[in-house]
Chain A
């Protein structure tokens, strides 16, 4: 039986850009799928197709068991959408915004009013409820936008980069809301550029790049694909780099990496914490002083680099995927200069790509 969100062979092109190039998705009821990828990967386009905002060139999709292309109006009754840009009317108060959305979900005026009150309290907007949204902070607007998406407690939620641009406190708060939602049985599709976020929230992750799903699985499965854990040692004395490297080679399986300027030696290993203790004893026994030692598991950042050959946030050659009118002369404001390896790209990861 197909999941609460199901898509098969979705293709959508804007001019020359294949925003979606044959995407399949299957999200079981009550779980969270993280759609992970850089700007322009096709995440937003996928969400727009599934929420009935655009029609795919080919492929099929269903949400809550309802065909997205044949019965869009029924799909809209069962979904909530919280976008990248907080879509609230800034000249209405928080309360007026939620009441309007409730009524447009076809609730009675009275139900919409009650529901608006509940949500404002739940999202800590009670004090600001009767102020116009223009006076809200970024975090408050985002909470209001999310509250609007939850007016009817839809069984299926779509959140397009919900925490982009939020400060850590607001992000944490949003994560808690998402966890509460899922605990209540909601199915969620979440797009994010933050690997940490997908790691933290999603049961399953689809890594997308250039409109294709290039990998899928749980966070652990994806990390396992990247080649497991490794030991990192930072020695105090540059003279000790070579002996430390020799020690690590005795424990490792594969090629070590040496970074002279940071006095760091990295070695892929297997054996966990027990092995780490042995490494420390051996180094100590040979009189090698260390500043830092750690057993590192691969991050999703490593996964991304190993899958795509570039860091998650360093995609430059795509037109803005939110430009649906044909991809003409609109520049991609969000892409950042290409930085090979990325800041969080661990030195060891690059090697693992080729192995």
Chain B
């Protein structure tokens, strides 16, 4: 029998899946595709690792001796303080990966292919962000090992540490949805990469990630304390037991309740940017 002709043989193959089941299944199919790509293009993962490792080393040894936290100028105190900041900054780099990947798919016509298929509408983006989550988790593991090597320790037990990493991953997942929206909105993968990175620098530096916000001018200090990014950094620090003794916790609500603030911010970002990105996807054209 002819392999390509016979439309009659087709209908049997098409099982209609329910809404949620189809979404999950299609997302996993796309996630698998993106993970295979990561394995076949390992440079992307490797470069994604080099930068945070460089930051750990540079901040620890270059700035470490000069930055006082909680009244202590001991470099090892700063190293404990620093790691949650580097971890958090690292997870936000998922933005650039998701953005560049989706822009590349648009550019190559793959998004058109996906959009012409009877698949769940959000699955292309969900699959991409899930794959990025896996990559982010791997990066965090390697980075944590490096951090331990330079002297970083957890002090509140494994469970809390795991909770800290979970909040970091959730933040990374949320930011990859921002990246998805950027990727759908620009014309080239290159634009998506820089568009995914430039605003991350002010966002991660006007925060408590690398230095305490106390010494910043009032305006910046307020921004830093309400910055979604700071909430996760503060939460991770608390859960890792990395807040130096005598470190004054700011009075702002997110700093007083960092775990809740981190959760709320991340979920808000996911809901908002997922909605925008999926809407954009429906009308996206290369």
Q: Give chain A's interface residues, CB within 8 Å of chain B.
A: 48, 51-55, 73-74, 76-77, 79, 81, 83-92, 96, 100-101, 103-108, 111, 115, 118-119, 121-122, 132, 148, 150, 152-155, 177, 180-181, 183-186, 322, 324-325
Contacts and interface: CB of A to CB of B under 8 A. Distances in A.
Contacts of A96: 33, 36
Contacts of B226: none
A145 B85 CA distance: 45
A154 B10 contact: yes
B9 interface: yes
B132 to A, nearest CB: 16
B24 interface: no
Contacts of A100: 29-30, 32-33
A108 B113 CA distance: 19
B14 A180 contact: no
A153 B10 contact: yes
Nearest to B119: A104
Contacts of B285: 48, 53-54, 322, 324-325
B115 interface: yes
B55 to A, nearest CB: 29
A243 B33 CA distance: 73
A77 B10 CA distance: 10
A184 to B, nearest CB: 2
A181 B4 contact: yes
Interface in B69-112: 108-110, 112
B2 interface: yes
B201 to A, nearest CB: 28
B7 A154 contact: yes
B3 A119 contact: yes
B80 to A, nearest CB: 40
Contacts of B30: 100, 104
A147 B117 CA distance: 14
Contacts of B5: 153, 180-181, 183-186
Given A91-B37, A104-B26, A153-B6, A52 B115 contact: yes
B117 to A, nearest CB: 5
Given A122-B3, A122-B4, 17 more contacts: A53-B112, A73-B118, A76-B118, A77-B14, A79-B116, A81-B113, A83-B113, A87-B108, A87-B112, A89-B37, A90-B108, A91-B40, A100-B32, A104-B30, A115-B13, A132-B40, A322-B285
Nearest to A55: B283
B8 A76 contact: no
A17 to B, nearest CB: 14
13 contacts: A81-B112, A87-B108, A87-B113, A104-B123, A105-B13, A105-B118, A105-B119, A111-B13, A148-B113, A150-B4, A180-B2, A181-B5, A325-B285
Contacts of A183: 2, 5
Contacts of A153: 4-7, 9-10
Contact of A91 (B6, B41, B109, B114): B41
B253 to A, nearest CB: 41
B153 interface: no
B211 interface: no
Contact of A106 (B2, B17, B109): B17
Contacts of B29: 100, 103-104
A149 to B, nearest CB: 9
A326 B226 CA distance: 38
Interface hub of B32, B33, B114 (most chain A Cβ within 10 A): B33
A108 B15 CA distance: 8
Contact of A85 (B109, B119, B283): B109
A324 B17 CA distance: 32
Given A48-B285, A53-B285, A325-B285, A91 B3 contact: no
A180 to B, nearest CB: 6
B19 to A, nearest CB: 11
Contacts of B116: 51-53, 76, 79, 81
Contacts of A104: 26, 29-30, 114, 117-119, 123
B50 to A, nearest CB: 21
Contacts of A180: 2, 4-5
Contacts of B283: 54-55
Nearest to B115: A53
Given A76-B117, A83-B113, A105-B118, A155 B7 contact: yes
A150 B25 CA distance: 21
A181 B3 CA distance: 9
B14 A184 contact: no
Contacts of A83: 109, 112-113
A190 B143 CA distance: 53
Contacts of B16: 106
Contacts of B17: 106
A152 B117 CA distance: 11
A14 to B, nearest CB: 10
Contacts of A73: 118
Contact of B6 (A51, A88, A185): A185
Contacts of B14: 77, 105-107, 152
A181 B4 CA distance: 6
Given A54-B285, A79-B116, A153-B5, A87 B13 contact: no
Top 3 nearest A-B pairs (CB, nearest first) are: A184-B5, A87-B109, A324-B285
Nearest to B3: A122
B221 interface: no
Nearest to B107: A85
B22 interface: yes
B286 interface: yes
Interface hub of B3, B37, B110, B113 (most chain A Cβ within 10 A): B113
Contact of B108 (A55, A81, A85, A324): A85
B6 to A, nearest CB: 5
